[in-house]
């Protein structure tokens, strides 16, 4: 197991292995996104209370749920970097930050569109979930800025790892904010595939498809970005120079 873990930390091995994964991941991502978007935005029946506005939630819930995965990922990668000094883990943590920032921005954007219709307002500062999600976006932008400000990669990795742990705490607050405080956001509805449930099985199946699609999109984006970072950092390595000559 430790041998496999050590091998996984090799940039060269990851680059070669991910090259074999990518076509399958891209194909699966394309299928799930296509099915999810067409089903969720064109064929999903109107909600009994929200009408066709509920279709926005198909994208919003999937993007919002995926956005919460970035700080845990970055925190784990940061700890691995500090304890085992794996360069690949630091590359993953670095590349995850800008992708996570886009996911957080899209979460706020789609949520504001839905809120403008359902709540009658684009933004509400008293809503803890909205504010903590905005704080997550600022933390991710802070990680990106910190990387750019520090020239020493070791110091940048440690500083960003510590900031990622703060972001991990904020993820917990985002998750339970609707239970801890009285906010506009409602408590998560129980998942039910029964035809008698308020949302209906079609709604939950569409959300499940979009969640899988977003995680596949996250995986593809992160792998592509990490591969580019590997080539940048390992550009003086013999295997990268051989790869350039072959191409």
Structure confidence by residue, pLDDT tens digits, 91-144: 999 999 999 999 999 999 999 988 888 888 888 888 889 999 999 999 999 999
Residue 64 class from Cβ within 10 Å (0-12 exposed, 13-18 middle, 19+ buried)? buried
Q: What is the pLDDT of residue 161?
A: 92
Cα separation, 89 vs 87, whole angstroms:
5
Contacts of 154 (CB under 8 A, 6+ apart): none
Cα separation, 160 vs 78, whole angstroms:
7
Q: What is the pLDDT of residue 244?
A: 81
Phi first, then psi: give them for residue 199, nearest 5 degrees.
-85, -30
Cα separation, 220 vs 226, whole angstroms:
10
Alpha-carbon dihedral 236, 238, 241, 247, rounded to 10 degrees = -150
Q: What is the pLDDT of residue 45?
A: 75
Q: Is-contact 98 164, C-beta < 8 A?
A: no
**DSSP per-residue codes, 43-96:** ISPPBTTTBGGGHHHHHHHHHHHHHTTHHHHHHHHHHHHHHH--HHHHHHHHHH
Low-confidence stretches of the chain (pLDDT < 70) are 1-8, 47-52, 185-200
Residue 130 class from Cβ within 10 Å (0-12 exposed, 13-18 middle, 19+ buried)? buried
Q: What is the pLDDT of residue 52?
A: 63
pTM of the model: 0.91
């Amino acid at each position: 197991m430790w041998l496999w873990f050590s091998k996984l930390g090799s940039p060269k091995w990851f680059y070669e292995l991910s090259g074999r994964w990518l076509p399958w991941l891209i194909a699966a991502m394309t299928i799930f996104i296509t099915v999810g978007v067409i089903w969720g935005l064109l064929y999903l029946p109107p909600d009994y209370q929200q009408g066709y506005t509920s279709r926005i939630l198909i994208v919003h819930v999937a993007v919002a749920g995926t956005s919460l995965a970035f700080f845990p990922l970055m925190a784990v990668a940061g700890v691995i970097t500090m304890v085992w000094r794996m360069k690949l883990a630091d590359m993953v943590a670095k590349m995850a930050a800008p992708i996570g920032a886009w996911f957080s921005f899209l979460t706020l954007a789609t949520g504001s569109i839905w809120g403008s219709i359902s709540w009658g307002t684009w933004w509400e500062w008293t809503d803890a979930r909205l504010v903590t999600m905005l704080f997550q976006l600022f933390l991710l932008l802070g990680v990106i800025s910190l990387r750019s400000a520090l020239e020493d990669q070791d110091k940048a990795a440690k500083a960003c790892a510590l900031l990622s742990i703060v972001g991990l705490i904020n993820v917990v607050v985002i998750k339970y904010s609707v239970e801890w405080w009285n906010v506009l956001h409602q408590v998560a509805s129980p998942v039910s595939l029964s035809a008698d449930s308020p949302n209906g099985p079609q709604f939950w199946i569409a959300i499940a498809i979009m969640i899988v699609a977003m995680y596949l999109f996250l995986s593809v984006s992160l792998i592509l970005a990490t591969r580019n970072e590997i080539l940048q950092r390992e550009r003086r390595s013999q295997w990268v120079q051989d790869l350039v000559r072959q191409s």
